[in-house]
A = this chain, B = another copy of it.
Amino acid sequence: MDISPKVRLFVDVPLAVGAPVALEQSQAHYLLHVMRAEIGTPVALFNGQDGEWAARLTATSKRGATLVADRQLRLQQPEPDLWLLFAPVKRARIDIIVEKATELGVSALFPVFTRHTAMTRVNEERLRAIAQEAAEQCERLSVPTVQTAGPLDGLLAGWQGDRRLILLDEGGGGRPIAEALAGQTGGPAAILVGPEGGFAKSELDALRRLSFACPVGLGPRILRADTAVIAALSCYQAMCGDWRTPSGVRS
């Protein structure tokens, strides 16, 4: 009988037939003590490179667990090259941003400091753990990277001009997002969402002048930063990204 795995884990090691996989302590704890896995329990594994694999638990110790990969379940698929640049917000909402951006298929997350950003520190490790857990849950084949937080200016100074920057222009000057995205192809792109207090006027003026920037508007209501992130990513994926093709019937 073919039992489909109930647990899905990201592991940072190569996956191939017969490859042994030693879990780090927190994953072993989750598998053994939260999910109550036993020797032989099937587990799905992915590493961002080798697709998804069916593995089974072969050994446990006081602090660890070892799995062996049996067969490939899915091939690695190309994913949209879509970055999210966001001004860090307070804890509950930054967690929502990272979780949702992962579900919505972002490839890299950049916490960026703007003039009016209230937060001055970001715990990137915590955000990486949230992204990994969200990737495990949403059946992604990769985990987005979480970059070290830094000033927006510096990131834009080294920008590659072929990556379009979709700027959420809360000043109301942007084109309606569906109009701006219509007919666009899915090349490298980034979405930039400012802080809850908005961009400084001079900062917004400078952003609008960037040759690679595309200022867009999200309607007449004021959206919170986390809502704006999810809204813009959804519109992008629906119109330019990997939601354009039917996803196929799931079992």
The interface of chain A, by Cβ under 8 A from chain B, is 77, 96, 99-100, 103-105, 137-140, 170-179, 217-224, 227, 230-232, 234-235, 237-239, 241-250
Contact = CB atoms under 8 A, between A and B. Distances in A.
Nearest to A140: B221
Nearest to A240: B178
A245 B175 CA distance: 8
Top 7 closest pairs, chain A to chain B, by CB = A219-B243, A231-B234, A178-B238, A172-B250, A138-B221, A172-B249, A230-B230
Please give the count of copies of this chain that the complex contains.
Answer: 2
A105 B230 contact: no
13 contacts: A103-B227, A104-B223, A105-B219, A171-B250, A172-B250, A175-B246, A176-B244, A176-B245, A178-B244, A219-B247, A220-B242, A220-B247, A227-B230
Given A100-B227, A223-B103, A250-B170, A218 B243 contact: yes
Nearest to A198: B250
Given A103-B221, A219-B105, A219-B237, A176 B243 contact: yes
Contacts of A227: 100, 103-104, 230
A248 B137 contact: no
Contacts of A138: 221-224
Which has the most chain B C-beta neighbours within 10 Å: A77, A224, A231?
A: A231
A137 B243 contact: no
Nearest to A134: B224
A244 B220 CA distance: 10
Contacts of A100: 227, 230
